[in-house]
Amino acid sequence: MDSMGKTLLVIGGLIAATGLLIILAGRLGLGRLPGDIIIRRENFTFYFPVVTILLVSIVLTLLFNLVSRIFK
């Protein structure tokens, strides 16, 4: 049972860290980049962050490749 508690604490910490990163990214303008699709109508807003998703994907890919090479 002890390992399950530690696992839940780690997962909770990761969720909290992700939330903080999302808040900071929004303040830095990430999510409102040129190329992100925003459609606004009277009672409807559709937002699809194409460029933001590509940028985050590239950064995470480079980060994970770097970490995997270090700990190989």
Are residues 51 and 25 part of one domain?
no
Q: How many domains does the chain have?
A: 2
pLDDT in tens, 17-58: 988 988 888 888 777 889 999 999 999 999 999 998 999 899
* Whole-prediction pTM: 0.64
Contact 52, 31 (CB under 8 A): yes
Task: Sort residue 26 into left (φ over 0), alpha (ψ -120 to 50) or beta.
Answer: alpha
Q: Which amino acid is at 40?
A: R
State the first-to-last Cα distance of the chain, in angstroms, to the nearest integer: 31
Residues 66 and 44 in one domain: yes
Model confidence at 1, in pLDDT bands (50, 70, 90)? low
50 plus 26 within the same structural domain: no
65 or 21: which leads in pLDDT: 65
Find the domain containing 16 and state its range.
1-30
